[in-house]
A and B are shown apart, each in its own frame.
Chain A
Amino acid sequence: MFFIECLSDLREFVPEPEVVAGLTFDGDPAGELELKISASAARSVSADFLATDEADLSEQEIHDVVCELANMICGSALSRVESAATFRLSTPRIMDSARDIATLSEAAASASDPFFEVGDSAIHAVELGSGRLVVSIHTEKLKWPLFPR
Chain B
Amino acid sequence: MAYRVLIVDDSPAMRSFVRRVILLSGFELSECFDAGDGREALSLLQHEWVDAILTDINMPGMDGEEFLRLLAADDVLRSIPVIVISTDATQTRIRRLMALGARGYITKPFVPETLRAELEATLGVTVD
Contact = CB atoms under 8 A, between A and B. Distances in A.
Contacts of B96: 86
B58 interface: yes
Interface in A53-75: 61, 64-65, 67-68, 71-72, 74-75
B28 to A, nearest CB: 18
A71 B11 contact: yes
Majority secondary structure, A binding face: helix
Contact of A64 (B13, B92, B107, B108): B13
Interface size class of B (residues with CB under 8 A): 20 to 34
Given A89-B58, A89-B87, A75 B13 contact: no
A2 interface: yes
Majority secondary structure, B binding face: loop
A50 interface: yes
Contacts of B59: 91
Interface in A64-101: 64-65, 67-68, 71-72, 74-76, 78-79, 83-84, 86-89, 91
